[in-house]
Amino acid sequence: MLQRYRLLLIVVAIVLPLDQLTKIYIDSTMALHQSRTVIEHFFNICYVLNTGAAFGMLANSPFRVPLLAGVALIALTVILWLFKRLDDDQQLQRLGLALVFSGAIGNLIDRLRLGAVIDFIDVHWYQSHWPAFNVADSAITIGVALLLIDLWREEKRRKNK
């Protein structure tokens, strides 16, 4: 049984500490809203708290923490269910789900601990900024991208048959 979840456990063991340690480091070394330039006109490290969901949605809702925590718990449950149903040869899907799972846990911890998520990666082109994000958000994004790539590849395989 544990063998089936090996990849999930490995990814969680890497992503979750990396996410939490970077957030702890940012929180302990920077003031809220402080920014440090890494690459001029392209990349900063900044300290912001995202009280909402993706791109700050629901930021002002009084129900945001229980709602977003509930959604995260449902998503984590669904991911575990999907993970259990995957065949052993579906490694790209396993990796994608493991990354999404790890990222969701990382942001859920922040939400329950702080009522907000610490974001600190600021990618921009001069004055045009992408919303700040963190390691957990990156893991979720990469995981979803891997799942989409696998779906696309599977669709191509089906068409070729």
Q: Residue 88 catalytic?
A: no
- Residue 3 is predicted with a pLDDT of 76
User: Where in the sequence is the domain holding 114, given as residue range(s)?
Assistant: 2-31+38-160
88, 119, 122, 150: the active-site residue? 119
- Residue 58 is predicted with a pLDDT of 65
- Residue 161 is predicted with a pLDDT of 78
Q: Residue 27 catalytic?
A: no
Rounded to two decimals, what is the model's pTM?
Answer: 0.90
What's the structural domain count of the chain?
1
* Residue pair 98/116 in contact by the 8 Å Cβ criterion: no
Ranges of residues in the chain whose predicted pLDDT is under 50: none
19, 110, 122, 137: the active-site residue? 137
- Residue 63 is predicted with a pLDDT of 73
- Residue 151 is predicted with a pLDDT of 93
